[in-house]
Structure 1
Amino acid sequence: MILVTGANGKTGRAIIKSLLVKGERIRAFVHRTEQIEEMKALGEMEIVAGDMLDQLAVNEAVVGIRAVYHICSAMNPDEVQIGQVIIQAARLAEVEHFVFHSVLHPGIQEMPHHHKKLLVEELLVNSGIPYTIVQPGVLMQNILESWKLLSEKGIFQQKYFTTPETRIGMVDLEDLAEAAGIILTRPGHVWASYEISGPENLSLSDMKAAMEQHFGHEITVETPQDEMFAAQLTKRGLGDYKVNTIVKMFQHYNEHGSVGNSNVLMWILDRKPNDFSSFILRTLKSNI
């Protein structure tokens, strides 16, 4: 059986779907009991709810587990402590394979959530548990937060790009989930750290061109200023740590970009990863 933590997020759900297709038995760990009913729609699996900082609850969730795919909730100030808890539980349960969902370029200290993931990587490497570290780039699916405005009014609201030089190596979540399924179910992937990126390092003009090609009309780009963006995040209920961390992330992306290389993902999938244009076309068809 495979335990997936952070199971109710979009990444956890995608990975669970990939594993269920392979016929794997899944135990999903979610934060709140009301999320259990939502998860049942994905398919047959065990679902447990609890606090990832509760060592006893996590120890119980890992009982009988062969492999773990650990995802911490985004921008979590307690990510390192949560990593300590789940790694300790996995060690006690003698888990055979621990896969940690990290981030591309975790060594960048200017982005607090990147640095916290690097610290968890260190804990895992030092634990002695057979591990794989997955370091995905920015998900193409992140732009879906602006999809309603994009599809209804032709406006793409974004914060990744403020200069023509900025480039982002995006990856399709479907490719990431397929790769995770392979890593968890086929031999040969332990003791490895994998950078997971798509086949393009995209500029804003690249993304805009792909959108205009498939939407069939001009796309207008809106980039809110940091103060307005932070206020929007606060209005959505995010706390100060998450707001400040997200703003710092986009400031770093704007100054340095976040480029990657798709060779590792291509090797794992044994095919070329999906490009941004195909993602836009697929999303448009699924919304028709």
Structure 2
Amino acid sequence: MNTRVAVVGGHGKTGRAVATALAARGADVVATGRAEWENLTAALAGCAAVYVIAPNLDVDEPGYVGHVLEAARKAEVGRVVYHSVASPHLPALPHHLDKAEAEDLVRRSGLPWTILQPGPYLQNLDLTTTVRLPYDAHATFGFADLADVGAAAAVVLLEGGHAGATYELASRVATVAELAAEAGVDVVVERPTGRPGSREEALLRAMFDYYDQHGLPVGTLPLRALLARAPLEE
């Protein structure tokens, strides 16, 4: 059985988590990044599967994902797994809609596909000191633990039965206020100051406004089913 798996975007924190989980299961991991971008087909040659992670707030995520899909088709990769986001079809969040468009490309790629939609990472919160938060501390989220996400990715990349599936992933449903209380730290809510008028500032402002009103709830059952155990943070 071919267990050679490419992780495109494999040098960031998500890519490293996926690569670690794959290696723990004996897979041969090929981590690629921008250095291999022009020769991506060659980098994917011989791979049974590819995991696709776009950079945060990428200016053209559909274009990025489309490039990977074209390389995967040329390299005759057996399956593709796309790292999306929980609730990608939110009109108020343009960068989520970019992922929804990229999901559509994946579904129409002609390759067997699976889509993972994780909630915000627990690792984005430093619970060892006062948490400085840019949105309402009492908003409800489905938080994903990076190790859980990596483990789930390894399952769908290495095991059968996941073609055509879309899974939302969360390890725990909670508010930041609850997490901070458990850790014994305070929470201070303050908006970050980005470059006025920049695309990044506009996207972040829209995201934090949405979080203030609605949070981002994500259920934990899909992750529990994929891992055949309780998520690490439950």
Which TM-score band (shorter chain)?
A: over 0.9
Residue 185 of structure 1, aligned match among 152, 155, 158: 158
Residue 188 of structure 2, aligned match among 213, 222, 229: 222
Percent identical residues: 32
Q: Deviations over 1:242-272 (max 9, x none)?
A: 2321222121111111001111111101111
Q: Where do 5+ consecutive residues of structure 1 fail to align?
A: 32-48, 213-218, 277-288
Instruction: Choose 1 or 2 for highest CA Rg.
Output: 1
CA shift at 1:275, angstroms? Answer: 2.3
Q: How does 1:42-121 map to 2 (within 5 A)?
A: 49-51=35-37, 54=38, 57-121=39-103
Cα distance in 1 for residues equivalent to 2:225 and 2:45: 33
1:261 maps onto 2:233 in alignment: no
What secondary structure sits across from 2:225 in the alignment?
helix
User: Which range moves more in the overlay, 203-212 or 173-182?
Assistant: 203-212
What secondary structure sits across from 1:138 in the alignment?
coil
Cα distance in 1 for residues equivalent to 2:134 and 2:12: 21
Q: How does 1:226-237 map to 2 (within 5 A)?
A: 229-231=192-194, 234=195
Cα distance in 1 for residues equivalent to 2:221 and 2:205: 30
CA shift at 1:193, angstroms? Answer: 0.6
Greater share of residues in helix: 1
Q: Deviations over 1:150-188 (max 9, x none)?
A: 63xx411112325x4x21110111111111111111111
Q: Deviations over 1:46-81 (max 9, x none)?
A: xxx234xx4xx2222222221000000100012111
1:23 maps onto 2:9 in alignment: no
Question: 4+ runs of 1 displaced by more than 4 Å?
Answer: none
Higher relative contact order (CA 8 A, sep 6+): 2
1:9 maps onto 2:30 in alignment: no
Q: How does 1:126-205 map to 2 (within 5 A)?
A: 126-143=108-125, 147=126, 151=128, 154-161=129-136, 164=138, 166-200=139-173, 202-205=174-177
Counterpart of 2:136, as a letter, is F
Check whether the contact 2:135–2:190 (CA below 8 A) recurs between aligned residues: no
Check whether the contact 2:177–2:187 (CA below 8 A) recurs between aligned residues: no
Cα distance in 1 for residues equivalent to 2:224 and 2:150: 13
Counterpart of 1:19, as a letter, is L
Check whether the contact 2:21–2:151 (CA below 8 A) recurs between aligned residues: yes
Cα distance in 1 for residues equivalent to 2:187 and 2:66: 42
Q: Where do 5+ consecutive residues of structure 2 fail to align?
A: none
Q: Deviations over 1:174-212 (max 9, x none)?
A: 111111111111111111111111232x12331122111
TM-score, normalization by structure 1: 0.76
TM-score, normalization by structure 2: 0.92
CA shift at 1:14, angstroms? Answer: 0.7
Counterpart of 1:91, as a letter, is R
Q: Which residue matches 1:209?
A: 181
Check whether the contact 1:197–1:261 (CA below 8 A) recurs between aligned residues: yes
